[in-house]
Structure 1
Amino acid sequence: MTASAGRGEADDAAERYRPGYELVAEQLLGYIVEQNLMPGDRLPTEQGLAEILGATRNVTREAVKVLAAMGRLSVRKGAGIFVAASPGELANDQLAHFQPTSMEHVLMLLDYRRLIESETARRAATLATPIEVRAIRENAELTLAAGKTVDAQEFARVDALFHECVGNAAHNLFLRSSVANIRRLLSQSDVLLFHGDLPGSLEVAADQHIAITQAIAMGDDESAAELMTAHIDTTQHQFERRIRDRVFNVSTKPAPAGPQPSEQQASSAS
Structure 2
Amino acid sequence: MSMDFGQIRRSEHLPARIAAQIAGDIQEGRLQPGDKLPTEHFLSKALGVSRSVVREAIAQLRNEGLVETRQGVGAFVTERQARLIRIDDGKLLESEGFRDLFQLRIPLEIEAAGLAALHHTSDDLAKIDASLALMTGSERWTSEGINADLAFHRAVADATGNDYFAMFIGFIAERISLAINAARARAVLEEIVEVTIEEHVAVRDAIAKRDPQASRTAMRNHLLGAASRIELTLEVF
TM-score range with shorter-chain normalisation?
A: 0.5 to 0.7
TM-score, normalising length: structure 2: 0.59
The one-letter code of the counterpart of 1:167 is: A
Instruction: Kindly report structure 1 stretches of 4+ aligned residues shifted beyond 6 Å.
Output: 235-238
Report percent identity of matched pairs: 23
Q: Residue 181 and residue 130 in structure 1: after superposition, are their counterparts in 2 closer, same or farther (change >3 A)? A: closer
Please name the residue that 1:212 is paired with.
Answer: 203
1:1-270 alignment, distance < 5 Å = 18-35=12-29, 41-46=35-40, 48-49=42-43, 55-58=47-50, 62=53, 64-66=55-57, 68-69=59-60, 71-72=63-64, 73-74=67-68, 78-83=72-77, 92-93=81-82, 95=84, 98-103=87-92, 110-128=102-120, 132-145=124-137, 147-152=139-144, 156=147, 158-159=148-149, 161-170=151-160, 173=161, 176-186=162-172, 189=175, 201=184, 203=193, 206-232=197-223, 234=226
TM-score, normalising length: structure 1: 0.53
Deviation at 1:230, TM superposition (A): 4.7
Q: Deviations over 1:74-108 (max 9, x none)?
A: 5555322344799xxxxx44545543433577655
Q: Residue 140 and residue 26 in structure 1: after superposition, are their counterparts in 2 closer, same or farther (change >3 A)? A: same
Deviation at 1:62, TM superposition (A): 2.1
The one-letter code of the counterpart of 1:28 is: I
Q: Residue 219 and residue 102 in structure 1: after superposition, are their counterparts in 2 closer, same or farther (change >3 A)? A: same
Gaps of 5+ in 2: 1-10, 185-191, 233-237
Query: Residues of 1 paired with 2:208 and 2:29: CA distance?
Result: 50
Query: Residues of 2 paired with 1:41 and 1:208: CA distance?
Result: 49
Query: Residues of 1 paired with 2:157 and 2:86: CA distance?
Result: 26
Q: Are the aligned partners of 1:121 and 1:225 in contact in 2 as well (CA < 8 Å)? A: yes
Q: Residue 147 and residue 114 in structure 1: after superposition, are their counterparts in 2 closer, same or farther (change >3 A)? A: farther
Please name the residue that 1:254 is paired with.
Answer: none
Match of 1:57, SS state, is: coil
Gaps of 5+ in 1: 1-16, 87-91, 241-270
How many pairs does the alignment contain? 205
Query: Residues of 2 paired with 1:47 and 1:100: CA distance?
Result: 27
Match of 1:81, SS state, is: strand
**The 10-residue stretch of structure 1 (197-206 or 33-42) with the greater mean CA deviation from structure 2:** 197-206
